[in-house]
């Protein structure tokens, strides 16, 4: 029986964000936007979805009078990502 791929993660931009965040302790919003080649508006919406699912923590503060948003993957997010990768491996093994 195959595990269903987590719909929160099975989307291009959200998966890209989670893949970035899994590799770092924390990352600024601008860094994620730059690496994912996304627009600020779209990225905000997708990060909010990840936040609502409890997969990322978002900290908003000010740096040199400019707003600074920092994102960090949560334990729940790490578990979800690991499950997603495991499920992906199952699908890929069958496809061989």
Partner 1 sequence: MSEEKNLTEQESLQIITEMIHKVKGSFHESGTSAILWGSVVGFCGLFSFVKAHFDFSTGWFDVWFLTLIAIVPQVIISIKESRQRKILTYEESAMNAVWLVFGISIFALAFYNNVVPGVSENFYAKDGIELLQRNKATGEISAFHPFIFSESSIFLILYAIPTLVTGLARKFKPMIIGGIICYLLFIVSCFVSFQYDMLLQGIAGIINWLIPGLILRNMFLKGKAC
- In DSSP notation, 60-84 reads EEEETTEEEEEEEE-HHHHHHHHHH
Contact 95, 21 (CB under 8 A): no
Cβ-proximal residues to 25 (8 Å cutoff; 6+ apart), any chain: 72
Q: According to the binding rule CB under 8 A, does residue 54 interact with partner 1?
A: no
> Binding residue for partner 1 (CB under 8 A) from 3, 24, 82, 86?
24
Q: With CB under 8 A, what is the number of residues at the site for partner 1? A: 34
Residue from 1, 3, 74, 85 that binds partner 1 (CB under 8 A)?
85
For residue 8, give every residue at least 6 positions away whose Cβ sits within 8 Å of its Cβ, in sequence order, or none: 14, 49, 50, 53, 55, 80
The two most distant CA atoms of the chain are separated, in Å, by: 53
Q: Which of residues 3, 8, 26, 44 is near partner 1 by CB under 8 A?
A: 26
Residue 54 Cβ vs partner 1, minimum distance, rounded to whole Å: 18
Please pick, from the candidates 12, 54, 59, 82, the single residue that binds partner 1 as defined by CB under 8 A. 12
Q: Which residues bind partner 1 (CB under 8 A)?
A: 5, 10-16, 19-20, 22-28, 30-31, 35-38, 42, 45-46, 63-64, 84-85, 88, 91-92, 95
């Amino acid at each position: 029986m195959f595990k269903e791929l987590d719909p929160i993660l099975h989307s291009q931009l959200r998966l890209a964000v989670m893949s970035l965040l899994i590799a770092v302790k924390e990352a600024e919003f601008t860094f994620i936007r730059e690496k994912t080649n996304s627009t600020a508006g779209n990225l905000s919406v997708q990060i909010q979805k990840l936040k609502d699912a409890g997969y990322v923590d978002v900290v908003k503060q000010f740096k040199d009078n400019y707003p600074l948003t920092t994102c960090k993957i949560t334990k729940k997010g790490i578990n979800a990502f690991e499950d997603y990768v495991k499920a992906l491996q199952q699908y890929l093994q069958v496809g061989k």
